[in-house]
Amino acid sequence: MEQPLSRRRLLQTTGAGMAALTTGTAGCLGFGGSSSDSLTLGTLNVFPMMQYFVIDQQGWYDELDTDIEVKTFGGGPPLVQAYASGNLDLAYVGISPGLVAIANGVASKVVAANVLEPNVMVGSSEFRSYWNDHGADAFQRFRNDKGRKPRFATLPSGSTPDVFLRYWITEVLGLSLDVVEISGQSPSALQSTLSTGNADAGSAIEPIPTALQENPDTDMEPFKYAGDIMPGQPGAVLQPSQSLVDDDPELVRNLVEIHIRATEFITENRQEAADMASSVVGSDILSQSVATKAINSPASTFISDPHRIVEKSLVYNEFHQQLGSVDDDLSEDDVFDHSFYDEVSGGE
């Protein structure tokens, strides 16, 4: 439904996940499904998309000559599936599914970064006790004592939190994925699963970790932040289709300019930005109190400069190859187009 103060629509969408992208759609992807006077943006209602929240609430898309319609998704992989099907022209998407999309034929480029080190490992008091006492051996100790693997809940398979969890277990802790049971879920389902004790731990992004801490009915709390695991971990990005980059570079430049403006606004007006996030997501789902705490967490370092995430993004690509979700190396030029950011920022 068209919003009264803008020309954008919010539509709820679901998808089957990354499997459909990697098995059946490569080769005819990423051309977008909208006319030149109306483009469709895919995004998620999570804090790594904070720039979108600000842009939406400020009405900055209305400054463009093109209407921007918005579809929200329950995870990065279903968003990418829609991208691959030609239903999106640009996306605010996690770097992990965004990279897999490019590697599997979705012609698109990262033109701006959103956030650094957004991932948080949360655990019940019981699992945190095992972790504090045994470190990497906590998984096996837990299994020995409980007769089962620890259950970790996260966002859908292929999402940035999901892949980051797998990276932490295998590349940082040096363990096999067999030590853990991983369940991928939508953001709302993930928060419910963690808060009701139906998982022992999880890999999450804000505002879920903060919401858990503010919930008196759960003992689930953070025990490891991304900065401790992969300093400079990339989070989400602005990723327009290659056809949009080629056919309307001025519009892409304007989108990047608005994005940078939003990042600056967040940095200078954190409380107001938190209120905007609550408004977009819905105060019944994300209260202003939780939003305020979440935007000040260690997982809320908002940036725009895509140069800052190149190195670790390519580390993700290497890990994707180990997981079997992609076959080929991606170069910086395969993934990024820095020209728009450099032009708007003056090369800073």
Beta partners for residue 18, in sequence order: none
pLDDT of residue 8: 32
pLDDT for 2-25, tens place per residue? 233 332 322 222 233 343 444 343
Do domains 10-117+233-345 and 120-229 share one topology? The answer is yes
Secondary structure, 3-state, 291-310: HHHHHCCCCCEECCCHHHHH
Across residues 116-138, what is the average pLDDT? 98
Query: So what's the pLDDT on residue 34?
Result: 44
What CATH architecture is 10-117+233-345?
3-Layer(aba) Sandwich (3.40)
List the alpha helices (DSSP H) in the chain. Answer: 18-24, 50-58, 76-84, 95-103, 125-134, 138-146, 160-167, 187-195, 208-214, 226-229, 242-247, 249-268, 270-281, 288-295, 310-323, 332-335, 339-345
CATH topology of domain 120-229: D-Maltodextrin-Binding Protein; domain 2 (3.40.190)
The per-residue pLDDT for 188 is 86
Count the Cβ atoms, other than its own, within 10 Å of residue 137.
15
Three-state SS at 182: strand
Average of per-residue pLDDT across 184-198: 93
What does the pLDDT read at residue 13?
A: 29
- Tracing tokens 């906590």 back to the chain, one arrives at 138
Q: How far is CA 255 from CA 7, 45, 131, 195, 250, in A?
A: 16, 19, 43, 37, 9
> Which residues are CB-contacts of 22 (< 8 A; sequence separation ≥ 6)?
100, 104, 325, 326
Is residue 137 over pLDDT 50? yes
Q: Which residue has the higher pLDDT, 233 or 34?
A: 233
pLDDT at 69: 96
What is the per-residue pLDDT for 283? 93
Provide the pLDDT for residue 187. Answer: 87
The predicted pLDDT at position 28 comes to: 38
Per-residue model confidence as pLDDT tens digits over 252-311: 999 999 999 999 999 999 999 999 999 999 999 999 999 999 999 999 999 999 999 999
Residue 238 is predicted with a pLDDT of 98
| Residue 21: predicted pLDDT | 43
Give the chain's count of helices (H) and strands (E): 17, 13
Domain borders along the chain are: 10-117+233-345, 120-229
Q: What is the mean pLDDT of the chain?
A: 89
Contacts of residue 266, defined as CB under 8 A and 6 or more positions apart, other chains included, come to 50, 51, 54, 273, 295, 302
